[in-house]
Each structure stands twice: as structure tokens, then as C-alpha cells.
Amino acid sequence: MENMTTEPKVEKKAESEKAKHKMMLLTLSGSFKTQPGSDVDRCQYNNVKGVVEFAEYEYYIQFATRMLPVWLAKDKRYKDTNYEGRIKVYVDDSKEVEGTPICLGKDIKEMTWEELMSLACFRKLREIPLYKDGDIRKARERAYIIYEEKINGRKILKNAQELKKFKEKLEQAEYSEVEIEKRVGECLNLTQDEINPIKSYNFAKLPPMIVRG
């Protein structure tokens, strides 16, 4: 039974115009917890396969760790086994294939857990929370902010203190009030305004953020 596995479907370029990206098929083995906070009754897994965004060897374990629970859930041998976290992950094999990262063309604010994991791998954003680590809204929000900062190059103002320092720096550079407000408006401002809550940061009101290739 252990040798049975479901081979992930890998699109070929001739079969789909969307298959434009270099991906890799990883084969994993190791063990994972089936009980919260305990290695008792660990489950041994092997020959678990999945397709992920292509990366250098140094990223193999990082990507495999992110994708393991997703791939286990798709493997008929383990999909009904309770997963409470990895114990050990080995990458036994890798093969270059073609495909399309599932995060492409998706709005970060509406991504599933699997799409968030794809985004983390595709853009090498380690700051995105691991699979089902907390609530998904918080994970989407974290991914949105990190994407703006790391990929779009947008300045993030995390609190009122950072906002104040940023304005002071612009004042010292002799920017006009109009220019200062313009610069502040170009930032992603996460501060809360107790006097005027309507002007406070609200993730739900941020515009969609579509992931592009």
C-alpha cells in the first residue's frame, strides 16, 4: 500500500497555453504528527509528490515544508489522516516540468490557503504564514502587505511613530506640505487614527491585489 501514490497532473505546453512557467515535481518522504503537540502515533509518509514553482536547491526544503500538508491532503493514502504538523521532511527527488503557479491571476485578498502557499514559493516570500497557521484573513493581509513591500516596492508605514518620522524626514529635505502629503499617500499606511477612525487602516477596504507573472 505504501508504494501507491497519485501522480500530480503536469500540463504540457502543447496541452495548455497557460503552461509557460518552469516548475518542479518534488518527491517527499518523512513523518508528521497526528496529535497536537505530540510525536506519539506519528505517521510515516513516502513517495508523496507535488508540483511547485521552480527554485534553486537551497529552497527545496522550505518549499516542501510549505506544500507538504497540501500534497498530503491530495494523496489518497493520507488525506483522511489527521495532520498536526511536520516532524521530518526529506526531498528524495526533483524533476523539472512545465506548469502554471496557481497564484497567478488571483487576488491576494481572496486567495485560498493553497494559493497563498503557491504565492510564498513563487515570489520567495518567507514571511507569509505557513498552511493554516492562524486564520486565513490574517494570512491574506500579511501576504498583501509583504507583496506590496517586497514585490511592488511600496513603502509601508506600520504605525503612527513611523508615519511621524517619515514626515519629519521629508520636512528636513524641505518638501512642501503638498509634496509631503503626496509622498505619504503613496505609502501603504497601516496606522490607526483614534480621532478619525474613518481614516484608519482597514484591510477590507484596500483595493484588490492581483498577482502577475
Which pLDDT tens digit goes with each residue over 103-139? 999 999 999 999 999 999 999 999 999 999 999 999 9
Are 112 and 194 members of one domain? no
Residue 96 in domain? yes
The rounded mean pLDDT for the chain is 91
Are 138 and 189 members of one domain? no
Of 161, 131, 125, which is closest to residue 144 (Cα–Cα)?
Answer: 125
- pLDDT of the residue at 18: 55
- As a whole number of angstroms, the distance between CA 65 and CA 85 comes to 10
Question: Which has the higher per-residue pLDDT, 79 or 31?
Answer: 31
8 pLDDT band (50/70/90 cuts)? Answer: low
- pLDDT of the residue at 194: 72
Are 47 and 89 members of one domain? yes
- pLDDT of the residue at 206: 95
Residue 210 in domain? no
Residue 4 in domain? no
Residue where one domain finishes, among candidates 151, 166, 191: 151
- As a whole number of angstroms, the distance between CA 203 and CA 190 comes to 9
Are 92 and 141 members of one domain? yes
19-57 pLDDT per residue, tens? 479 999 999 999 999 999 999 999 999 999 999 999 999
